[in-house]
Structure 1
Amino acid sequence: MTTQVTLTRPQKAAAILVAMGKPSASRLLKFFKQEELKALIEGARLLRTIPQSDLERIVAEFEAEFTEGAGLLDSADRMDTILNESLSPEEMSAIMGDKRFEVAPEGPPPIWPELEKLEPTRLGAFLAGEHPQTAAMVLSKLAPQAAANILLTLEKPMRSEIIKRMVTMATIPDTATRIIENQLRASVLAQTATKDISAGQARVASVLNEMDKPQLEEVMQDLEEAGTPDLGGVRSRLFAFDDLPLLTQKARVLLFDGLSTELITLALRGAPPGLTESVLSAIGARSRRMIESELGQGSEGIQLADIMGARKNIAVATIRLSREGAFELPSSSQQSEAA
C-alpha cells in the first residue's frame, strides 16, 4: 500500500497549476500577489513526482475538474516554464529577489500577426509592386486564410507567378527575412498606423450589430444622410438574423452544425417562411423534423425577448465564424438589395 504524499498548501497549489497546463495557469497567475507567487515557486521547487492517485486527491480538495492524463509531473521545471511565459523578467526579479530569470533582449516584435489583421487589398496593393519572389516569401509567412485572401486581390499573372515560386521556395536566409520585415514595417505598417480605419469601423459595427434590423437600417440611413465617410467598411461588418438567407448554403451548414436545435427552434418562432426554409435547408433531416414539430405547436407562452435573444446569439455566432475565416459575410450590396 502506497503512502500518501504530504504537501503544504503552496505545494498543492503548484501541483494544480502545473496539471492545468500553461494556457489556463497563465491566466490564473495574474491574480496572485507577489508573496503568493514566491511561495508557489518555492513550493514547486521542493515538489517531487506526484502519483496520479495523490494528484486526484488534491484536485478533489479544490473541487475542480481536469482532463485525463495530468498525473506525473516534473513540477519545478514546468512551473518555471509557466511563470517565465506569464510574467515579465522585471516581475520575476521583483518576486525572487535575484536575476535568475533574466532573458536576452528581444528584437522588434514579429510583424506577421499584424499583417494578417490588415485588409487584404492593402497588403495586396503593396505586393503587386514587388518582385514575385518577395511576394511569395511574404505570403509564405502568413496564415493560409490570410495569404489566400491577399492572393485573390492580385492579377492572375502575378498570382500564378507567386504560387509557382511558393511551391519551389527553399529556406530563406535570416538576413533576407529581416530586410523584408523592415521594408514591410516601414512601408505598410507605418502607413497603417495613420491611415487604417478598420479598427474604428469594427468598433462601430460591433455597436450597430447589437440593434434590431429596423433600428440598424434607420441609423445607417441617418449616417448616410449626414455624409459619414467610410460607411461601406462599416456595413461590410454588419450582420443580422434576417440576413441568414444571404449566406451561402455551405456557410449556413457550417453555422448551424455548431448550434443546438433548441436555440434554432427558439430563433425561428415567428420567422417568415423564406427565412425559416433557408435555415431548415441547412440542417440534417432528423433535426429538421424535430424543429418543424416544435414550431407546429405554436409559440404561446414564449417571450418575445427570448426569441430575439436567440436570434441575436445566432447572429453573433455568424460574425464570430466569419472573423475566424470560416466564411465571408454577405457583401454590403447584397444586404442593401435585401433591405
Structure 2
Amino acid sequence: MTTTLATLTRPQKAAAILVAMGKPSASRLLKFFKQEELKALIEGARQLRTIPQSDLEKIVAEFEAEFTEGAGQLDSADKMDDILNEGLSPEEVQALKGDGKPLNAAKTPPPIWPQLEKADPLRLGAFIAAEHPQTSALILSRLAPQASANVLLTLEKGLRGEIIKRMMALTSIPETATKIVEGQLRSRVLSESTAKDMSAGQSRVASVLNEMEKSQMDEVMEDLEKSGATDLEGVRARLFSFDDIVLMTQKARVALFDGLSTELVTLCLRGAPPDMTEAVLSAIGARSRRMIESELSQGSEGIAMADILKARRSIASTAIRMSHEGVFELPTAAAQAAAA
C-alpha cells in the first residue's frame, strides 16, 4: 500500500526522513526531540506505508534537510523501532510506547523500615502512642524484634498490651494501607529537618546534665518542665547518673564493673546508701568484694566529697559509653520514673 504526499501529517513526514537517513544518523538526532515529539513520531510511523521516492524527495526539501541516501520506501513501525532501540535505552523506549514508566518518573524511595530501626525509640514511640493500636501493631510488626522491643518499652503498660494483642492477631495488610502508614512515618518520624536537629539538641543538653549530681539534674529538668520546654522525653532517655545503677539489670551491672579498678569502685561507694552499695558489690567478684568492704569499713575520713563525685561521674560516663556501643541497655525513662 502506498501513502500519498497530500495525506501525510508533519510527524509522518519527520518519521519518513528519519528512516531514510538510516539508524546511525537518526539515532543521534533522536536525542534532540522532546518526549511528546518522539511519541508523535512513533504514532506517525505506525500509520505509514510505502512512500514513492519522488514524494520522499519533496518531503526532504520541505524540511530543508540534506537527503543523502534515499530508498523511497518505508514500512513504518519496525524500522522506527530499530532506530529507537539504537538511540535510546530500553526504559526510554518502553516509556515512549506507553508500556513503561514515564521518563521523568521519580525513583522509588528506599525502604523505610531499616531507617526506622535506627531511629530514636522514644521518637517512634511518641508517634505510635498517638496512633490507633491497629496502626501501631502494623508498624511494630514490620520492625526487627530488637527495635520493636525498644519502642514497646517506651509505651505505657496498657497501650503496650493492647498493641501486642493486635500484633498477635495481625494477618495480611492491604498494600494501600501500608503505603499510607509509610508516608506518615517518612514525614513525621524520619523528617530530616526535625529528627536530626532534635536529636542533636537533646544529646547536647543530656551531655551537660550528665555532668551534674542526681539532685541537680532533677532540679534542672523540673525547671525545664515549668518553662514549657518540649521534647523533654528525648533528653530524659539520654540521662544517666550513678544513682541509676540500682535500676540496671544484674547482667548490665556485671558488664559495667568488670575491669574497673577496685580503687575507683571503693571511692564511688564512699557514703553511698546500702541499696546502692549492695547493687554494686553484687556485680563484682567475691575477692574484690571483700577488699572493697574492708576499705569501706574504715570510714571516709579525709576523703574529699569532690573526689567521690568525680569517681561516680566517671562510672556513669562509662555506662553511657558502653550503652552507645551496644554492650547493654540503660534503664528507660519510664523505669526511672516508676522507681522515683
**TM-score, normalised to structure 2's length?**
0.49
TM-score, normalisation: structure 1: 0.49
**Larger-Rg structure:** 2
